[in-house]
Amino acid sequence: MEPIAIIGIGCRFPGADNLESFWDLLRSGGDAITEVPSDRWDIDAFYDPNPGIPGKMSTRWGGFLNQVDQFDPGFFGILPRRAKLIDPQHRLVLEVAWEALEDAGVVPAKLAGSKTGVFIAISHNDYDKIICKDISRVNAHHGPSTYHCIAANRLSHVLDLRGPSMAVDTACSSSLVAVHLACQSLRTGESHLALVGGVSLILSPEETIAASHARVMAPDGRCKTFDASTNGYVRGEGCGVVILKRLADAVKDKDNILAVIKGSAVNQNGLGNGLTAFNGPAQQAVISEALENAEVAPAEISYVEVHGIGTPLGDPIEANALKTVLMRDRSLDQPCWIGSVKTNIGYLESASAMASLIKVVLSLKHQEIPAHLHLKNLNPRISLVGTPISIPTECQPWPVDTTPRRAGISAFGFGGTNSHLILEEAPVFSTAVSDSKRPLHLLTLSAKSEKALRELATRYEIYLQSHTEAALEDVCFTANAGRSHFLYRLAVVTQSTTQLRKQLSAFVTGRETVGLASSQGQTPKSRKIAFLFSDQSSEYVNIGQQLYRTQLVFRRTLDRCDEILRPYLEKPLLEVLYPVSGKTSPINKNTYNQPALFALEYALAKLWQSWGIKPSSVMGYGVGEYVAACVAGVFSLEDGLKLITARTGLMQIPLAQIAVIESAVNGCNAIATLPTTANKTQYTFEQIVQAVTYSTPSIDLVSSLTGKLVTDEIATPDYWLSHLQQSERFASGLETFSKHSSEIYSEIEEFSQYYSSDDVELQLPGLCQEKSDWQQILESLRELYLLGASVDWSNFDRDYQCRRLQLPTYPFQRQRCWIELTDSTTELSR
């Protein structure tokens, strides 16, 4: 089978609100079982220690989540009154799926219209029972609010996903079967990405009463899997979602691969001892088939997360089936551990296998096997003597003789549908070390409210405090490129994680601090960006050198300009801009100043555009108008540089090139002599102007010559001949800019000495001598981001070897969304 990568995880389990706290619970041997909370039902009214009493349950225990009545409807565009009707399991899937996508560094908006599949394991309908207690509350919204399929379908709808979308119900094996189906969908190309989840909530007492009557509830509320005292299980609830992608695609996309699914299998007990009875031969068969599909030998499995329901008869059947398969060709020096997460959080039913899967992924990542709880004496029907199979009673290292580590996961539905999955630790890739480093970095955070933004900043502050190993460039890359960007925005220019932590702390507490700015969620409107190109720049030696050393787009553009200008300049452009130490640069001479200015402005414009900052209009003054025209597509870079070099009046054009120019203009084959010194400049400039290939501007271009928007007239030789001789109307041009709603002016070079306009919302200066290149560039980018610019963050970091981290996820602003006794049908249907 083609291997499938797990690239993101979200979860809410008893005692653990997120992935990190879930691992802390497992690693510490935590027991998350509690008495039934009072907001579920009055346990004293329903409890009776004697099983089989009508209307009573024989347990007081369970693994519960906090605040299952809470939801953030506004985040998902749902009206609060409608959210009350939606099954909390569906709402939980929305939130946890979003967290899983963030964990994967996948921006949900970029999935719109894609072949992304959704597979959700779900079995219970407790909330439907609560609603139907008052039949008058049932209305037209009832079906879309509670049907199992909608748990998957609503997620596909909200994110505009076009792949398969389905609910999966095979009882306790549902989550693993959903993973199996998703992997098949990915392998066939039906899906390019898959969101797979399992969810189960205990909201009403009926199912627990039924299980008590079946005498499978442990009176002490603990799953004592494999123990001699095992006497049933305890119910639990939760939700887990994993993001899957074909391994080859995940490697190509440089995803953060958490583990690899090598293979899986699903089968059925068929006609056995009973519909709900475990079947040893069927279990052996599904495990063997999964190993075969994964092309993994039994002896290569060093851990198995068992189904481990915790019943006197079920445990021995599973243990013996495992032993039969795992001992094939296994020597006694090849250990294998077996354990169950149900001993920590209870039996999560349709979400149970998802909890098992996530536990194993975390164990592989940390190379540790958590303790299997509540094992004092092995069930006498289970014998592990003479085998290397052990049950860990303490958290321990996960050693293997040969890499990679591999594990099996079992899940058996009480209706007879069995599943097994083979998981492998993530591949290790050598990370190339980049020589180019940014001296400063930009972190962006955003949310849908000011309160959520502050909470998010707090989460990042805490994360940086507890993850001192995290590289600043990786934190910024993941946050910038792997998150959605909402109206309330925070942007921080920073140079270290220590400084960043202090800056975030200042924001949270409302203190002023250097390098940080935020926006207050202004009403969105169509802001247009204009590029302004100057004529007399503050040229200085080594201008832009930081960018040249660290930005490939900037460097390649300047290199290309240098190459084009070689025949026309005595000194190469790059030697003029970045002279060797101790050498004097002639940068202040017109011969070099104007071509250098053109090249720098053009390279900066290309850099901004590569980051997604694209102008809706451009304008220039003097030399800057040539750059503006070039950016607008009026003529090529080659022609632009020839024009600007000829414009200096000192360009020495080789005889062969003069001949080519005259031939293009006059149809002549050659020229016998050069023009005289007196008329050489005018002659050569005119000839070049005539030989240039012109096009109509591809974006709005305001002429500094006329002060108006220009189209065809700028694409003629006459315009540029006039440009050399006539005075410019820069102020009029700025007025035209304002009329075309260009509210953000990004200066490619400092322009403030030439203009001031009250109509401009923001002026962003270009490079300046008072600040380093990166300081100025990042401050300008920060302001653009805060005003709603859509930055291409992936391109922003494409020159660097950044990796995705598992950073804090969105802080949902949750509120109570629950059917109340006072809710009327009229109110809910509005």
Q: Rg of the Cα trace of the chain?
A: 34
At position 368, the amino acid (one-letter code) is E
**Per-residue pLDDT at 64:** 98
**Per-residue pLDDT at 626:** 95
CB atoms within 10 A of CB 29: 15
**Per-residue pLDDT at 659:** 43
Residues 6 or more apart whose CB falls under 8 angstroms from that of 488 comprise: 446, 447, 448, 449, 450, 452, 453, 518, 519, 520, 521
- The three-point CA angle 633-639-641 to 5° equals 105
**Per-residue pLDDT at 749:** 53
As a whole number of angstroms, the distance between CA 306 and CA 322 comes to 9
Report the 3 state secondary structure along 660-721: HHHHHHHCCCCCCCCCCCCCHHHHHHHHHHHHCCCCCCCCEEECCCCCCEECHHHHCHHHHH
Containing 530, the helix (H) or strand (E) segment is strand 528-533
Contact (Cβ atoms closer than 8 angstroms) between residue 351 and residue 121? yes
**Per-residue pLDDT at 401:** 80
Contact (Cβ atoms closer than 8 angstroms) between residue 790 and residue 56? no
**Bridging pattern class, strands 406-412 and 303-305:** parallel
**Per-residue pLDDT at 68:** 97
The label of the residue with tokens 């391109």 reads 795
Low-confidence spans in the chain with pLDDT less than 50: 650, 653-673, 675-683, 741, 750-760
- Signed CA dihedral, 597, 602, 608, 610: sign only: negative
3-state DSSP assignment of residue 385: coil
